[in-house]
Amino acid sequence: MKLLILGAGGMLGRDLTATAERAGHSVTALARAELDVTAAPAVGEAVRAAGPDWVANCAAYTRVDDAESELEEAMRLNGQAAGVVAQAAEAAGATVLYPSTDYVFDGSKLDGYLESDPVGPLSAYGRSKLEGERASAGHLVVRTSWLFGIGGRNFVETMLGLAERRDELKVVDDQVGAPTFTAHLAGGLVELMEADARGVRHLTAAGSCSWREFAEAIFERSGASVRVEGTTTEEFGAPAPRPRHSVLGSEHPDTPVLPHWTEGLDAYLAARVPA
């Protein structure tokens, strides 16, 4: 399988590149500095030059709170650029992998969202990713959640950084999801591409927790002595609204099963290089 990875410098892009190469696939990896995914001529040329079977569009605007005031930029990178990539891939006979998010849902369903459930994003970020899904229709859209990986800004590093300065923290405990290690996610994505999957798939770590429970597990496993107190979404006051319950399940029996989120956390802590 020949794979072109766009946004290869990010957490998921790096892990997907490494995982695909280990699996013996031919990979062309382009970071943001090497290709502007909003520039149709450049994207078209990059796809033609790589001659891939799959184009993994890992290039994305991921600053959830900033998107509330930068909607145009979020839509440009997550929505319009997805259309540019899809058109280039189709012209070259390739299929797109578009990673998406649990934030396309409103969080009101308590027993887990399936691929066929209606969407209803609460935030600008969620709306921008939904536009990307629509632009990638006919290809492979994979919704995942609460990503953390080596070398990128993520919740684990934020908590570990705070633990160096604080011995007590308040963390939101009324949002529930599945923290997903990007190295584990990358393995599942490669499996789906190898199986020539199409449509929408949900792929997250097994299990679920609140942000508070995630923080407590981070401190326990890292040996940090921090007392965690719960707080509400309203008290925390983040600019972007978030789904309260965004656990994802799959109605497709051939969807890969990823390790439990605690296994992902253990693997992350074992692999990370402390700042």
Residue count of the chain: 275
Contacts of residue 61, defined as CB under 8 A and 6 or more positions apart, other chains included, come to 67, 70, 73, 74, 76, 77, 78, 125, 128
Where would I find the H helices in the chain? Answer: 11-22, 40-50, 71-75, 81-91, 124-135, 155-163, 182-194, 211-222, 233-236, 261-271
- Phi, psi (degrees; rounded to nearest 5) at 168: -150, 135
Catalytic residue among 61, 103, 113, 125: 125
Q: Which SS3 state, helix, strand or coil, does residue 120 take?
A: coil
Tell which residue, 41, 39, 40, 12, has the closest CA to residue 29: 12
Q: How far is it, in rounded angstroms, from Cα 191 to Cα 139? A: 15
Q: How far is it, in rounded angstroms, from Cα 21 to Cα 23? A: 5
Structure-token match 């890969």, residue found: 256
- Residue 125 annotated as catalytic: yes
Which letter, b or e, does each residue of 201-225 get, where b requires 16 or more Cβ atoms within 10 Å of its Cβ?
Answer: bbbbbeebbbbbbbbbbbbeebebe
Q: How far is it, in rounded angstroms, from Cα 103 to Cα 244? A: 10
Known catalytic residues are 125
